[in-house]
Structure 1
Amino acid sequence: MQSITSRQAAALLFAIFAPCTSAGNSTDSHLASRYLPGDPGWPTHAEWNQLNETVGGRLIQGRPLARDCFGSSTLNDPVNVMSPYWLNDSCNPFLGPNGTCTLGNMASYAIDVADAGSVMAGIQFAQQKNLRLTIKNTGHDYLGRSAGEGSLALWTHNLKNISVLNYTSPHYTGPALKVGAGIEVAEAYAAAQQHGLRVVGGGCPTVGVAGGWLPGGGHGPLTAAYGLGADEALEYEVVTAAGQHLVVSPTSNYSDLYWALSGGGPGNYAVVLSITIQAHPDGPVAGLSLSFVNTDATTYWRAIAAWIQRLLEIDVHFPKLNSAATFTSAGFSLDFVTLPDVSSEAELTTAIGPFLHDLQQLNITVSTLETQLSPNYYAHYQYFTTSSTINTTNETVGNRLIPRSVARHHLPALIDTLQGISNNNSAAVFVIENNNVTHQNVGNQPGANAVLPAWRDSLFSLNFGVEIAPDASWEVIWAHQTEVNDWLDALRAVTPGGGSYQNEATFNDAEWKQDYFGVNYDRLAAIKAKYDPEYVFFANAAVGSDVRWRLAKDGSGRLYRR
């Protein structure tokens, strides 16, 4: 593979999204682009100081983590993100003493958001000074939506307010949890449990509930029981691009904005300050994990096919059961099974028993098998959440939602595709997460929110990818990305009607509009234009990202007006 620099690689990332004007066109002048540091129009120190005073001293200058201590948590950093693609090797200590340490794709400044007023001030400053605006919470971000070179970031991670309330509306009456944009999954689980409740959240404890997770759809261990995160949203507290501080719900004057925020993608329609979500009475939860190794390829792949077939039965007989299974060329691990509101472990054993019988028939020895009946959901989550079940972003990842029809009628073709990928790259990792979120199981109607309709027909969400070594070169990283996109193409060919979970998908999917938004795209685009006509909020592979602005093809990070 021909050697490429980090700048050239960054240019390749964006080229697929921007078939625009030539370099000689006047739209490529600085006057028709957002300013970057060093431009004549870049704000002066005095102007940045004035903004700092306006937001109560909460303006922070961006610094790459590696400058002081590589590996520090991005959760508590205002500009750094976890994905190595969007860090762009701008400050990688593994590059040695000749490497550079610059911000690269990160924001130049960030406002530590404390309230609606600080968001309004940030939006106004960015518009007046012709700056790119980004929104960052925890930094869990495969698609680069919370990164942007030379941008002013609105850092919502410290909005940690959380409260339990009794909620009443024409659509829902019952307990609810109001969470600030900075509340992480584990924090929400713990707060709900203290009040005898449980809420839907993600599998990774540090993902922001109201950050990218819920607006992107949001799945986790309780989605089969209650629905996707977007299905659980009751109302949003937001600040719009026009500086309006609103509370939007299905019955408000801004019901269209509520609809878009509920599954239409994060950081794109308004700045979310808090979300109120449904909460549910807690109770016992049964859990299970098991594993086995690959000692014979033929029987091993038959076992994986058997698990997929059994998921079809589980959907019917145990519709509230969720599970996550990881497999590679070396072995299979059912990381956790979650079955809420059961009186004994025996009910879970009944659900999984047919698969154990399949393994016996295949002469596959189960290496580990563990069951646990927990008194509440949070205890179950803590028991089964280990380092092996927490997603990281130091990896190349893609996603495909696998329709039930494929499992019923075309399973051999799917298994052949998965086995072919594994045979070509033994480092390939696959994750099967079954999420029974049909409208019948969730209890809502088609079109109730902007969740990709392919979710409703999917038997499971399939993640696939490879881990990225900390010292991986850009050549290796880009080769990973190309390979994973090839895998996506192969899986798309055998899964007609499927789509992709946008929060765990490739950032440069050539068919991102269809895969991430489907038939909802045009309606979402109209809502985007209504509430953000100047496209102040720009994010990669987001609705409307190809309308007003485009990223430079030279990898400079400059955002040009179309």
Structure 2
Amino acid sequence: MGISSYARVAASLLALSTSVISQSTNATINVDGEAVAVNASTLSSAAAVVSDAGLLPSETLQLTDAVLANLTAVELQNASLFSFDDNATTFDKRSLSCKVFPGDRAYPSTVVWRIFDLLLGNRLIKTVPLAAPCYSAWPAETNAALCTTITNNWTDSYMHEADPTSIMWPLYQGRTCMPTDDPSDTCTLGGYPSYAVNVSNVAQIQLAVNFARNANLRLVVKNTGHDFNGKSAGAGALSIWTHHLNEITYIPSYSSASYSGKAVKMGAGVRAFEIYAAARDLGVTVVGGEGRTVGVAGGFLAGGGHSPLSSLYGMAADQALSIEVVTPDGRFVTASLEKNSDLFWALRGGGGSTFGVVVSVTVRVFPVIPVTVMTFSFATSDNVTSTTFWEGVRAYFDYFVTYTDAGIYAYFSTFLTGVDSYSFGMAPFFAPNKTIAEVEELTAPWFARLAALGITITPVVNQYDDYYSAWWANFPLETVGITTIKTASRLFPKSNWANDTSLNATFDAIKTTVELGGSFLAFNIKAADNDNNDNSVNPAWRETCLHAILATVWTATTNDTEIIAASETLTYDWMQKWRDVSPGAGAYMSEADIAEPDFQQAFYGTNYDRLYALKQQYDPKSLFYAPTGVGSENWYITGQLTGLPTQNGRLCPV
């Protein structure tokens, strides 16, 4: 069958939704210079419309066995590339091989990619790096004015999450195409995937999952690209971009065996600011992330999801009632306590890009509550020595358990600002369901101790009528796109606060790393007890009162050798001091060190063995890979620099 025949067959199967049909009326598609007619009279659906009142519109369009049989009936060559996997076998590492890579003989040909695009309804995007307009090597993209705009907004998370393949932390992509004022510089794809599918319905996800599995392609999933370790990057990969799955449905009377009450169902692409605004308008409160552009139903919830409401209501994963997901075999299933309960357990905390592609999540909601927010800072000065400064910070540590038990979420930082000079910032002390008077009473003991030390603070306190207003006013847009910083984290348990000896050891370990030059950002937070926490969230969260992040920073001109040295100092020297005072504790996988020793224990704790077994059950062919994800120890990226791992190599089995 020639390419024209391929095109005609594919065109006849193009429409994946009625919207595609209407948009394609009287249109043509150009394939190798030949115009192929695509109109309402010749189109037949490449997706079945499934009627189910509980589904979002995007979920009613599904790839089915009947559709695949139709592909076979019209003798479309390579139709098997899009088939489901109904012959999954037990995991066997010996059966694995390197994922095919551009340039390999087995890599899909241009013709196959075109057919794939036609079946998707023209939703396939060939990757162009976001900063390509700055480079003359990308002549079709070069645009000096656009380059200036991209450069000026490079740290803006809205710009990166709106791009099909850009990620928030390009250090792990490989920094292969950064903004530049020299058009002759080199810009390559590096760790960016080769193609992305801009999905708008389930059928497109199923086609992509089946194609990647059957063609042995590396597959990645991008929602917003927020993950600190570049999990949505992957050289040569096919990416599923869930950004436009942004439907929100209010369920005033949700009922299941475990919950009855109000709920909200949201698509995987819904961002925090969208669901918070919708919840405000609906007169409810939703547990989501601190960052404005974080995709609430994506990797955030899959990793557990800490929230400004966690000390009051628990983790975001604890709120999930039902999850719609495309599994590695290409099937679209519902996971809940009643259906596929083991998968439901794994999806709530077991990590993103591991067990399938989440399409939507239904979560329980809470009443509207007032929130009081306080901000302030203090620093060393002529009147405040470094010794006094640290005494003031140490006094704060005495109240961590008290504050989290009161439902407080505090985001604070401590930095080395010069020789024996330091600053402390509280931005903010976030108190849901508390009045100004209650917050002032709660903080009075600490503030009295600061005053006794001669540390003057000027708190700014405001009370808001609802969560959204408080959150929007006090959590600015995230600064991203930075390649001169690496972070690591630790979840310090409440047991470290059991006596002065353990607490002093904890504080001294943190203080020492700041004195050595580390930047300390932390959350005084706990995962509140609730009746829905039988999930795979890292058990360390259930004991935590401090989620602490430590960062090492270098300059834009620092070479790779020096970056590697700084990175390894962070991982094996500074962070080891934290591990030594919190043996058996863990770290939050979504804001952690990609080189964390024994990541299985640190990120998953006692849940890892069960998660690994479920990974082999649901994904025996290892379609889904993510760095530090469950089962990732069975794979490696070729050509990596020790201490500076990226995703810009071939993915191969160990």
Q: 2:314 matched to 1:249?
A: no
Amino acid at match of 2:369: G
| Structure 2 residue aligned with 1:416 | 508
Matches within 5 A, 1:85-124: 85-94=171-180, 96=182, 99-124=185-210
Amino acid at match of 1:273: V
Q: Is the 8 A contact 1:223 1:229 kept in 2?
A: yes
What TM-score do the two structures reach when normalised by structure 2? 0.76
Q: Single out whichever of 217-226 and 392-401 deviates more from structure 2.
A: 392-401
Deviation at 1:554, TM superposition (A): 5.1
1:506-525 C-alpha deviation (Å, 9 max, x unpaired): 01112101100111000001
Q: Single out whichever of 405-414 and 529-538 deviates more from structure 2.
A: 405-414
| Structure 2 residue aligned with 1:303 | 392
Q: Is the 8 A contact 2:313 2:528 kept in 1?
A: no
CA separation in 1, counterparts of 2:241 and 2:565? 32
Q: Is the 8 A contact 1:62 1:110 kept in 2?
A: yes
Q: Is the 8 A contact 1:237 1:245 kept in 2?
A: yes
CA separation in 1, counterparts of 2:226 and 2:521? 18
Q: 2:442 matched to 1:351?
A: yes
Deviation at 1:468, TM superposition (A): 5.6
1:506 to 570, 593, 597: 593
2:225 to 124, 139, 146: 139
Q: Is the 8 A contact 2:218 2:651 kept in 1?
A: yes
Relative contact order, higher structure (CA 8 A, sep 6+): 1
Q: Is the radius of gyration larger for structure 1 or structure 2?
A: 2
SS in structure 2 at match of 1:497: coil
Q: Is the 8 A contact 1:142 1:393 kept in 2?
A: no
| Structure 2 residue aligned with 1:456 | 542
1:518 to 594, 601, 605: 605
1:386-407 C-alpha deviation (Å, 9 max, x unpaired): 35xx464623111100111213
SS in structure 1 at match of 2:443: helix
Matches within 5 A, 1:271-420: 271-295=357-381, 296-316=385-405, 318=406, 320-329=407-416, 330-342=422-434, 344-366=435-457, 368-386=458-476, 390=478, 392=480, 394=482, 395-409=485-499, 410-420=502-512
Deviation at 1:478, TM superposition (A): 2.7
1:55-78 C-alpha deviation (Å, 9 max, x unpaired): 110000111111113445210111
| Structure 1 residue aligned with 2:43 | none
2:614 to 513, 516, 527: 527
State percent identity of aligned pairs: 35
SS in structure 1 at match of 2:337: coil
Q: Single out whichever of 397-406 and 123-132 deviates more from structure 2.
A: 123-132
C-alpha RMSD of matched pairs (Å):
2.0
| Structure 2 residue aligned with 1:47 | 112
| CA 1:84–1:480: 2 relative to 1, 3 Å | farther
What TM-score do the two structures reach when normalised by structure 1? 0.89
Q: Is the 8 A contact 1:301 1:415 kept in 2?
A: no
Q: Is the 8 A contact 1:434 1:459 kept in 2?
A: yes
SS in structure 2 at match of 1:100: coil
Q: Single out whichever of 304-313 and 56-65 deviates more from structure 2.
A: 304-313
CA separation in 1, counterparts of 2:576 and 2:184? 38
1:241-297 C-alpha deviation (Å, 9 max, x unpaired): 111111110121x10000000011111001001111111110221111111112311
SS in structure 2 at match of 1:269: coil
Q: 2:525 matched to 1:435?
A: yes
1:197-254 C-alpha deviation (Å, 9 max, x unpaired): 11111111011101211110111211111110111111111000111111110121x1
Q: Is the 8 A contact 2:336 2:344 kept in 1?
A: yes
CA separation in 2, counterparts of 1:546 and 1:559? 12
| Structure 2 residue aligned with 1:60 | 125
Q: Is the 8 A contact 1:309 1:408 kept in 2?
A: no
| CA 1:429–1:391: 2 relative to 1, 3 Å | farther
- Structure 2, unaligned stretches of length 5 or more? 1-92, 134-146, 417-421, 642-647
Q: Is the 8 A contact 1:138 1:157 kept in 2?
A: yes
SS in structure 1 at match of 2:506: helix
Q: Is the 8 A contact 2:522 2:546 kept in 1?
A: yes
| CA 1:302–1:444: 2 relative to 1, 3 Å | farther
Amino acid at match of 1:37: P
| Structure 2 residue aligned with 1:185 | 272
- Structure 1, unaligned stretches of length 5 or more? 1-26
Deviation at 1:477, TM superposition (A): 3.4
| CA 1:280–1:263: 2 relative to 1, 3 Å | same
